[in-house]
Structure 1
Amino acid sequence: MVHKSRSENYLVKSENIPSSKRSEKTKKQPEELRKKISKITDAVKNLECSLLESKQHDRQLLLNTHGEKVKNQKLAYELEEARKENKQLLNVLQQQCSNDPDQVSRSASRSQLDRTSSYSSISMVHLQYKYEELLASHEGLLKVLESKIKESQQCYRENGSLRDELQTLMTQISNSEKTIETLCNKYLNLKERKDRKIANLRYERDTLRLVHNQLVQLLHKKCMDEDRLLSGQLRKSAEPNRALLLNEIRCCNKLQHENARLNQENRILRSRLGIADANEKNST
């Protein structure tokens, strides 16, 4: 009985080893794929955030450019208004001069000329200063606009590269999902086959155990019947040699019964070990 318990413990250990190895191998692959997918997902999120930031930057850049354009138009309008005012002032002075045909006294004409020349010189200086100021502002705005255009072009190029990278990552995610789906299907098929094999082995084990128990009971019953028969003959026998022979036959029957029982248990254990070795080979 001790030999039987040791063999069963060894059988249980040998059955547990390949299943644990298989579970470790099957667990590692989904975990690695989950890590890769999480990395790719994080990269996609970062690219989406950078794409949104670049779009916001482009929008702000367009707003700034539009504001500078409006300022430039406003300055051009002011310059045009100043030119119109200067032209109107010159027309008024020319009309005043043309409406005096008799030419008043020389002093009046001189004062008129001095006043006209002073007005014209003041207006020309003011217009020249205003023109130079507007020209400098216009040139500065053109430079700012040029730099903004370069920045927007750079942003457009970066957005294009980010879109390409995002498309590549989306393709990688799609391929990874297909690979995961294939591996999951393989894993489910292997698990189904393993479950069927385990169920068959358990059924065979239970059947062998039932047959073994029935055989042991039959052997035990046969041994007890023979022992009772020999005991009855031993009690009836008056000769010492015959009694000794019957006693030896009785001991031999007991040993034969024990030997048959042990041989049967040995066969069952060997069959179990053979099944366990076959499972281990299939798993490797």
Structure 2
Amino acid sequence: MARKRKGRDISGWLVVDKPAGMTSTAVVNKVRWAMDARKAGHAGTLDPEATGVLAVALGEATKTVPYITEALKAYEFTARLGQATNTDDAEGEVIAQSDLRPDDEAIKAALSAFIGDIMQVPPQFSAVKIDGERAYKKARDGEEMALAARPLWVEELLLIDRPDDDHVLLEMTCGKGGYVRSIARDLGDALGCKAHVKSLRRIWSGPFQASDGLTLEQIDNMAKTPDLDQYLKPLEVGLADLPEVRCLAESVAKLRNGNPASVIASDVEFGDEVWASYDGKAIAVGTYRGGEMQPSRVFVA
């Protein structure tokens, strides 16, 4: 018999302002310990040296992680011009240099090529799997790989500031799977000056804002107390991008058992993915089929 994981059956989202020098997994483990939660996960990995929004899902909220992962997110990052590194960030070794420093107008003109549907090659040091092994492990062994380009939707890419000739501050809003390091690298190549990411911060992800995030110091100070519970956002926040339908009392048990049931909907099309609520609480996610919903994922009360 499998051993039952210890901890509270607590559900919701805790927004963390991740510090540099820590992996996303380590942050999740810290939150799970502090909340004494049985189950936890996160929506979208940040590189260890990156900071900003890391939304940690607890309990039943982990079932809504895919909807946050698919949502738009925004990054603020500083690109160092004149140097390319083997990791495409400041942690790597400089592998190419240039004395060219394009002016602001040239940079703004180059940014237009990175907006919309683009193809992006992940960094050599990334978590992409090659023949069952992470790319960064192969890169650490000195192996060079031809990584396949991947599609990315970039909603917006703006030049925010130019503190000096060597640095530019940019802000990017994009969809799932974006590598900011690749953007900096490819921008440097397009400008002919080489570039890498010097610092990176995720300022928002879906409904979650960095300004709402708790620091690890705050989490430590409130660990295992009711004070920390007050910062927990309801799991329904993770469903903000899906249409909501309401179910009747007699439909609750049917949906939670995975069976289709009647729902009340407006502005919803046949075949849409929706979430059903009762008294404001999420009951299930599923497909709307003309007055009924067929659940695909249910939430335990």
Q: TM-score range by the shorter chain?
A: under 0.3
Structure with bigger gyration radius: 1
Q: Which has the higher helix share?
A: 1
With structure 2 as the length reference, what TM-score do the two structures score?
A: 0.16
Higher RCO (CA < 8 A, seq sep 6+)? 1
Q: Which has the higher strand share?
A: 2
With structure 1 as the length reference, what TM-score do the two structures score?
A: 0.17
